[in-house]
Structure 1
Amino acid sequence: MPRNWADFQYEIYLNGMTGAVPRLPTDLTRLEELAAHRLAPGPVGYVAGSAGDGSTARANRAALERRRIVPRMLRDVRERDLSVRVLGRSLPAPLALAPVGVLSIMHPDAEGAAARAAAAQGVPFVLSSASSTPMEQVAEAMGDAERWFQLYWGRDREVTRSFLRRARAAGFSVLVVTLDTPLVSWRPRDLDQAYLPFLHGVGTANYFTDPAFRSGLAKPVEEDPRAAVLHFLGLFGDAGHTWPDLAFLREHWDGPIVLKGVLHPDDARLAAEAGMDGVVVSNHGGRQVAGAVAAADALPRVARAVGERLTVLFDSGVRTGDDVFKALALGARAVLLGRPYVYGLGLDGQPGVEHVIRCLLAEFDLTLALSGHTTPSTLGAADLDGTPPGEHDRAH
């Protein structure tokens, strides 16, 4: 039986009859400001900050806001089903929690709390390589729930091979390879506070517990943590990877592989030719290239380029249920949600993350129905206004 996500609003209203109101705002765009008031400036700046002057992050929001939904009337929308099939997996809604590293800077329960929240709501959790919690502990917290592993593709092949082996053994089913971070960009909010969690051994849990990583140290991590941090920094990124190198990942991962950070249609075609299973149209939430194309502007071109050859996912700028609607109408199969759930975590731990998931999907469910649809599969560019010429040529 499909879940009726929209019922969350009635749960809120009924609780209000006893005087209870939500602990966090139901308008998820307010979470960043609330986090800035309640949490330390270093962590909030690290999560909220962007490359350069923030123009790419602003462009992400503007590109979604510019497109307007065109509702259709007198359609039977009483029964709705938000479930989708993504990468061979049945999901209750077109949503996963995006990989975000160093979550312990926002809440002591870190990735474990976010992963449990995702599992409780049935949506996949994508664990970052740069997590504060080892992947095995996160897997244990999730039980049998759907989980994906994000790889920062570094210089040490043995560490990469070990990560992939560990992730598969821990039940992670999909590999998400981030391509857009071979180097860390110029991020003024972090630079102005000289704030980089990795220098303090935060976000290094998967590395510090990895046998291949530890074998490259002169002394155990516990005896010389500074040397371990420097070793981590030396192998974290690799600006020399090229398309033929993907064969190494395919050789050592027998499940779906998704490339994250694709914005150009030719790169999407190359991903298909390399035998990949999907791409995430993403500019890292505006954190890597100042002045880059907005992710929502790149999405329809990428979707048209690969057709049904690849599963197209989307992130960068998603804040609301109507953003999810728009991303699907522009060609995405599902979206990855980042900053809002991290703010929810920082403000209220696992319940905060669950609140964000439920708010987003309730609003999406209602937007879908009120626009004349009962399933994500019927959405297409014709459901939007304010789209550039050519986007209406494509529909699901």
Structure 2
Amino acid sequence: MKLAYFVHDLADPAVTRRVRMLRAGGAEPVVLGFRRTDAAPESVGGAPAVDLGRTYDGRMGHRAKVTALTALRAGRWRGLLTGAEVFVGRTLEALAVAESARVQGGSKARLVYECLDIHRMMLGEGSKSRAMRAVERALLRRADLLVVSSPAFLDHYFAARQGVGADLAVETLLVENKPLDLGGGPPPRRPMRAAGPPWRIGWMGAIRCRKSLDVLTEIAARRPDLLEVRIHGRPAYTEFDDFDAQVARAPNVDFFGAYTAEDLPRIYGDVHFSWAFDYMEEGLNSAWLLPNRIYESGRYGVVPIALAGVETGRYLANRGFGVRLEDPRDVEAFLERLTPAAYAALRAQLDAVPADAFVVDEGDCRRLVNALAGRTVTSNVQSTDGAAATRRVA
């Protein structure tokens, strides 16, 4: 099945993972996307890539302008996309371009909206926020399928604010942010890091939470006997006053930059805990998301630490592993009380969870592709509070 995949950032590792899933499931994707880097890759996850131009974190006005101009000229890809059975837009801006390309190309392909975050602009009451929600509702009316990575996105936004399941009859699909495993078995785990202080916390992935950085750098600088911090990922520099300087001032905090999927066993094998707090959009998207670091933690045998009262904390509680705190600053007292035996018990809880809870395999990839194409998928499940039904694939 040929598939047109429109994305917000060609260099995003999560985009690469999704493209690999699509290919493993039998699709032949063509990736068309904006980029946040100076140069665009020629391929993404083994699929050919088309550069739609440069955009920037935080510059929403510029991104809206570039998106509109790109959508107006979307007919130029008609030849490239001929025969595509599905057009997928990952984020709202990508969906707008995907739908314009579909219409201008005269295609009758299915339209799929993949939403992995609810940006704060979508949740305000100002004129810009209302306009963005109106655009999204209009596109949802034309879409055949809505894909989300957390059931709370359905409960608290798409059902509650956009009318999905009531005014909008679009089907919904839950695809969690799990690592891709095509090897046919669980990865070998490194021996458990020696349990005892200083305890080492790893903060992996999208680094965008100012409050987390403040808490971790402050405790690590003040208590080098208790805490070391390893940061791996891509900082959203617009969210910090001076990320690099703040890290440099904290003697027990190290930043190692971006990484690839091949690096995951090494970077998780170097820490006792993974940091799964997010306050970037406190009470909104940050309370609803399920970050990929909780699945990576489970896969590689590292205990996640999260906020108790949000979707991530509920996920850990429901599955019986991890550490749930009422406030990120409570991590200092938690580590002070922690003994090697107590840490071993936390690891045992994690190890008791079935491995397939943390990864997607080739069968999951095939089910995803079938769902995108409108073919039969797995049984329906309810979202957290029953507000909207969703089909779980992975």
- Give yes or no for TM over 0.5: no
Query: What TM-score comes out, normalization by structure 1 length?
Result: 0.30
More strand per residue: 1 or 2? 2
TM-score, with length taken from structure 2: 0.31
More helix by share: 1
* Greater relative CO, 1 or 2 (CA 8 Å, sep 6+): 1
